[in-house]
Amino acid sequence: MAVRKIEELAASIDRHARQEGLHETAIRSLALVRRSEPSEWSPALYEPAIFLIAQGTKEIRVADVTYQYDPARYVIASVDMPVVCRVSRASARVPYLSLKVKIDPLVVGELLASGAEPEPVGSTERGFAVTPVEPPLLDAVSRLVALLDAPSDVPVLAPLLLREVTYRALSGPQGARLRQMVAAGAPAQRVARAISWIKDHAAEPLRMDALARRAGMGLSAFHLHFKTVTGLSPLQFQKRLRLLEARRLMVAAGLTAAEAAFRVGYESPSQFSREYRRAFGAPPRQDVVTLKTSVQGAPV
């Protein structure tokens, strides 16, 4: 049953993602990816979402841990997570096919308020996990993607299916990671608040005492819980966001390395180039040229 459902899901993604790369869909929370060859290691930002592969294999490094996922396992992220990833198995004959379903914290809160999985939040969990795919979740995701074949049904049925997908994840073995997203006062929820601020002010210098106060924690507790949830210190987290945004600005907006460095908060172009090369494996100009002349690795 599970094998047939995975094959049906792969066929659905194949129909709606005929070209290489990332494809947004008529369902705003759903994106599809196709890749016909393996990719190099590349940094990416995983937002709160469920990531599921229908065909192929991917590897992801989160802080100092490397995970592998495939059609038998899915990824769940409950906060924004800077990662390094690569598609490790894909070919023109059997392409890598995957999807991302964004998680809406409001829906998580509504489901909890309605009585779904009311257990109290325990210890702080890392905001990322790879876990076996449960049949109810696979079935709900498959029906969500199949809905793309009936565009007129999307406005009515998509919200219901997205809610079901969220419910299946919430009631699964990694549900605690979603519960801690919305549990008022929980350390992970406070860390998520700090992450949101860093994202919105990535070019500004970080004042740790002010950021800890914003999260409603003492400085030492804030550092501990931030590292537990993300695997990174706040400064490391900000640096990775800055480099990802600089890369986007150079590729999409045509900025020079110096312009992008200044835009994201670097005062020294040479420091920016050194850190960029460590993160992406090549100097800014060379990396951008490579990206513009090849299929970019998709973060799903």
What CA–CA distance (Å, rounded) separates 101 from 74? 11
pLDDT of residue 43: 86
What's the mean pLDDT in 64-79?
92
**pLDDT for residue 268 is more than 80:** yes
Share of the chain above pLDDT 90, in %: 72
Q: Is the pLDDT of residue 119 over 60?
A: no
Work out the pLDDT band at 41, boundaries 50, 70, 90. confident
279 vs 1 pLDDT, higher one: 279
Tokens describing residue 192: 């998520």
Mean pLDDT of 26-42: 94
pLDDT beyond 90 at 176: no
Position 236 pLDDT exceeds 80: yes
Give residue 189's pLDDT band: very low, low, confident or very high (50, 70, 90). Answer: confident
To the nearest 10°, report the CA torsion of 175, 180, 182, 188.
Answer: -150
CATH superfamily of 236-292: Homeodomain-like (1.10.10.60)
Which of the four pLDDT bands, split at 50, 70 and 90, describes residue 102?
A: very high
Quick one: which of 158, 155, 196 has its CA closest to 48?
196
- How confident is the model over 214-236, as a mean pLDDT? 92
Q: What is the pLDDT of residue 116?
A: 63
* Domain spanning 184-232: CATH 1.10.10: yes
- Could you tell me which residue, 20 or 180, shows the higher pLDDT? 20
Give me the half-sphere count of Cα atoms (radius 13 Å) on the Cβ side of residue 69.
Answer: 23
Distance CA 94, CA 252 (A): 30
Phi, psi at 122, each rounded to 5°: -90, -140
Token pair in block for residue 153: 């049904």
Q: How far is CA 6 from CA 13, 98, 134, 192, 230, in A?
A: 11, 11, 12, 33, 30
d(Cα 97, Cα 13) in Å, to the nearest integer? 7
* Fold exhibited by the domain 2-181: Jelly Rolls (2.60.120)
Q: Do domains 184-232 and 236-292 have the same CATH topology?
A: yes
- What pLDDT does residue 117 have? 53
pLDDT confidence of residue 294 = 63
Mean pLDDT value across the chain: 90
- Greater pLDDT, 126 or 248: 248
Domain borders along the chain are 2-181, 184-232, 236-292
Averaged pLDDT, 68-92:
94
Sheet of strand 65-69, all strands in order from the earlier edge strand to the far edge: 42-46, 81-89, 57-62, 65-69
Interacting residues of 101 by C-beta distance below 8 A, sequence separation 6+: 29, 30, 49, 50, 52, 141, 144, 162, 165
Q: What is the mean pLDDT of residues 195-201?
A: 93
Tracing tokens 């079901």 back to the chain, one arrives at 164
Query: What's the CA gap between 255 and 257, in Å, rounded?
Result: 7
Work out the number of other CB atoms within 10 angstroms of the CB of residue 6: 20
Longest Cα–Cα distance of the chain, Å, equals 57
- What's the pLDDT at 281? 85
